[in-house]
Amino acid sequence: MFNYAKQHRDAENETLREFFEKSPSEHYAILMETSKPDQSKRSILSALRVISDDTDYVDYIRTMNELVSEKYAHDQKTKKNKISMDEIRKIEKEYRKLVAIDMSMDDKQPNLDVYNTWILICLTSGIYCSPRRLADFIYMRIKNIDKANDNYISKQTFVFNKYKTVHSSPQSKIVPISNELYFILRRWMQLNPTDYLIFQPNRQPYTPSALTKKLQKIYGKSVSVSAIRSIYTSSVLREDLKEVEEINDRLEQKAAEMGTSVNMLKTVYLKERG
């Protein structure tokens, strides 16, 4: 907490004594800026209460108790509606089999609704590509494309002209497609009779609410794309995120040892890199 204040609050010259002399409200404000879990924040406030013998900390500790309680209740509710990555993979495998069986029939007229459902799973499950928000794929066109405004596929990349963070995350506009997914999508686009990559049974593009209901029907639980994105992050990216966290911890430690901030270290590095 002391290191955080030094690095993020322009308090590099502040001593430990000066830090502890801050008011409970100041300590609470600093804590709430950090990414520490609410339980840890509560423990720190409790420790400060004991060290300082300042009863003003009590109200802030009670506030943290309420936040911890609310989060626990939310987590319990979410847990009931949660699906695991293994379950998602099992569902995808079943639909992949259905498509393979259907395509092996002599009439060569595949069930487009089953195939379309499998494509939807491929796009949103996190198995073949990182799951994006619903709107990114709802209106993705494969025919009659306006390349300045539409989301579409170009060669082996997704091109997103419309997505939620288009202004803050321009790097998310062009996303490479894996060889496996590209092979799947190429075959599908040859069969797809509509202008859209995925579509409703009436051959019209999905609305957000209709697609959410479709996903819930597929997975058999109250699962949204947001939930799948969360599962993907915690299951698939867990080790990567752990490594990032460890790197950040090392940077904070080195910055503290050098008496500077992480931001300053990054600035120097970027200047040296050119």
Give the tens place of pLDDT for each residue, 152-211: 999 899 999 988 887 777 877 889 999 999 999 999 999 999 999 999 999 999 998 898
Domain that holds residue 33: 1-80
Question: What single DSSP character describes residue 220?
Answer: S
pLDDT at 236 over 70: no
Average per-residue pLDDT for the chain: 81
Give the tens place of pLDDT for each residue, 212-232: 889 888 887 677 777 787 777
Environment class of 63 (CB within 10 Å of its CB; exposed 0-12, middle 13-18, buried 19+): middle
Please name which of 12, 70, 57 lies closest in space to residue 31, comparing C-alpha atoms. 57
The answer for residues whose C-beta is within 8 angstroms of residue 111's C-beta and 6 or more apart is 102
What is the domain count for the chain? 3
**Residue 220 is assigned to a structural domain of this protein:** yes
- Number of Cβ within 10 Å of residue 46's Cβ equals 15
Residues 172 and 198 in one domain: yes
120 pLDDT band (50/70/90 cuts)?
A: very high
What type of residue is 238? Answer: R
260 pLDDT band (50/70/90 cuts)?
A: confident
Mean pLDDT of 63-87: 70
Residues 99 and 210 in one domain: yes
**Residue 240 is assigned to a structural domain of this protein:** no
Residues 221 and 125 in one domain: yes
Residues 193 and 109 in one domain: yes
Give the tens place of pLDDT for each residue, 33-73: 887 888 888 888 888 888 888 888 888 888 887 787 777 66
> Which is higher by pLDDT, 243 or 53?
53
